[in-house]
């Protein structure tokens, strides 16, 4: 369990994290979502005691990082996969980490096996591909068999197979009852990976909810109707003060009304419908709508949208 309360970090005039409070529970992958510069990495560094909050605090299983007796046994993290010494083998790196943290040596072979690096364990980490480095980073995070795991943008730069593997791996760790907190600016990836979301923009909390709720609450929900009598239906909707967003000869897109309301109105006036479909917003829609004010360095909304859209497509 991770609990952030009133977490704030200032760098001079810049407020990187602004009075952030949220809880991350065990048993699920929780996505930490926000546009670039939103404050995700700063928050994660504070969780790990690598940066001190200006005010507020983070507790991991009820304790501040500095109060943990054996930090690696409580919380494992993958912040930057390339920090390993390039001339050290994967196994030597893990043995060094284990020795300096009082972790039994047998864990080294266990975690190498777990992340699929056993066959390359004696090769220098400097020659590893990004995907292999990420796996070594995961092995390092798992060394102390911690209950809480933090991953900062773990799929950045990976190919689809690598992304799929990491996603399944994180879900497996959550299914074991661990707390898994993973940051990303890739919305579509989070929609597939995370059950719960903490969404931030410009250091502030925008939402904490399930991924499904986030889409339901923020995505524009509209109804598509196809009818040979669309113009008549449009007039009736206007009489009821219901907005028709777009209309074609036989097709209407309606905002702010349910399929039940529209179906009943049509039935009362004996209007034939060929289609009546609720259109749920995608996670991308929801995210853009909720963070459009909070994308850093935005000069116009168009530019901000493009920034986010690139994040989605990448």
Ligand X SMILES: Nc1ncnc2c1ncn2[C@@H]1O[C@H](COP(=O)(O)OP(=O)(O)OP(=O)(O)O)[C@@H](O)[C@H]1O
Of the candidate spans 8-16, 67-75, 262-270, 285-293, the one that interacts with ligand X by CB under 6 A turns out to be 8-16
30 is an interface residue for ligand X by CB under 6 A: no
Q: Quote the tokens at residue 190.
A: 């989070």
Rule CB under 6 A: choose which of 16, 132, 194, 252 binds ligand X.
16
Please give the backbone phi and psi of residue 74, each rounded to the nearest 5 degrees, phi first.
Answer: -105, -45
- In angstroms, the CA 183 to CA 22 distance is 14
Of the candidate spans 30-38, 57-65, 209-217, 268-276, the one that interacts with ligand X by CB under 6 A turns out to be 30-38
Q: By C-beta, is 36 or 70 nearer to ligand X?
A: 36
Q: By C-beta, is 7 or 84 nearer to ligand X?
A: 7
42 is an interface residue for ligand X by CB under 6 A: yes
To ligand X, the closest distance from the beta carbon of 32 in angstroms equals: 9
Q: Quote the tokens at residue 103.
A: 């972790």
Of the candidate spans 32-40, 97-105, 211-219, 239-247, the one that interacts with ligand X by CB under 6 A turns out to be 32-40
How many residues interact with ligand X (rule CB under 6 A)? Answer: 13
297 is an interface residue for ligand X by CB under 6 A: no
The answer to whether 198 and 31 are in contact (CB under 8 A) is yes
Residue 240 CA to its chain's centroid (Å): 40
Q: Which residue has the tokens 């996603």?
A: 167
Rule CB under 6 A: choose which of 4, 33, 41, 187 binds ligand X.
41
Do β-strands 275-279 and 243-248 pair in parallel, antiparallel, or remain unpaired?
Answer: unpaired
- In angstroms, the CA 100 to CA 115 distance is 21
- In angstroms, the CA 44 to CA 178 distance is 17
Three-state secondary-structure class, residue 91: helix
Please give the backbone phi and psi of residue 98, each rounded to the nearest 5 degrees, phi first.
Answer: -65, -45
To ligand X, the closest distance from the beta carbon of 39 in angstroms equals: 4
- In angstroms, the CA 140 to CA 79 distance is 11
Q: Quote the tokens at residue 140.
A: 């390092």
To ligand X, the closest distance from the beta carbon of 40 in angstroms equals: 3
Rule CB under 6 A: choose which of 145, 216, 250, 296 binds ligand X.
296
Rule CB under 6 A: choose which of 40, 93, 95, 107 binds ligand X.
40
38 is an interface residue for ligand X by CB under 6 A: yes
162 is an interface residue for ligand X by CB under 6 A: no
Residues at the site binding ligand X, with contacts judged by CB under 6 A: 11, 14, 16, 34, 36-42, 185, 296
């Amino acid at each position: 369990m991770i609990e952030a309360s009133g977490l704030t970090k200032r760098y001079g005039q810049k407020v990187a994290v602004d009075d952030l409070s949220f809880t991350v529970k065990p048993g699920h992958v929780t996505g930490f979502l926000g546009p670039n510069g939103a404050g995700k990495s700063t928050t994660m560094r504070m969780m790990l005691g690598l940066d001190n909050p200006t005010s507020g605090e983070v507790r991991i299983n009820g304790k501040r990082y500095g109060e943990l007796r054996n930090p690696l046994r409580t919380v494992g993290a993958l912040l930057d996969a390339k920090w390993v010494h390039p001339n050290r083998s994967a196994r030597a790196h893990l043995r060094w980490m284990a020795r300096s943290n009082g972790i039994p040596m047998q864990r080294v072979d266990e975690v190498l096996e777990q992340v699929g690096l056993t066959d390359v364990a004696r090769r220098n980490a400097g020659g590893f591909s990004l995907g292999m480095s990420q796996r070594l980073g995961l092995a390092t995070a798992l060394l102390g068999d911690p209950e809480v795991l933090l991953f900062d943008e773990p799929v950045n730069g990976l190919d689809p197979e690598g992304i799929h593997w990491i996603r399944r791996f994180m879900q497996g760790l959550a299914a074991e009852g661990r707390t898994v907190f993973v940051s990303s600016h890739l919305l579509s990836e989070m929609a597939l990976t995370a059950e719960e979301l903490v969404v931030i923009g410009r250091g502030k909390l925008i939402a904490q909810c399930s991924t499904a709720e986030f889409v339901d609450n923020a995505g524009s929900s509209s109804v598509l109707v196809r009818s040979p009598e669309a113009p008549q239906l449009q007039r009736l909707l206007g009489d009821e003060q219901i907005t028709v967003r777009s209309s074609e000869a036989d097709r209407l897109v309606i905002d702010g009304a349910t399929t039940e309301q529209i179906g009943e109105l049509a039935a009362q006036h004996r209007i034939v419908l060929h289609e009546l479909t609720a259109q749920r917003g995608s996670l991308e829609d929801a995210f853009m709508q909720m963070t459009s004010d909070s994308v850093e360095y935005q000069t116009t909304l168009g530019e901000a949208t493009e920034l986010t859209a690139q994040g989605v497509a990448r």
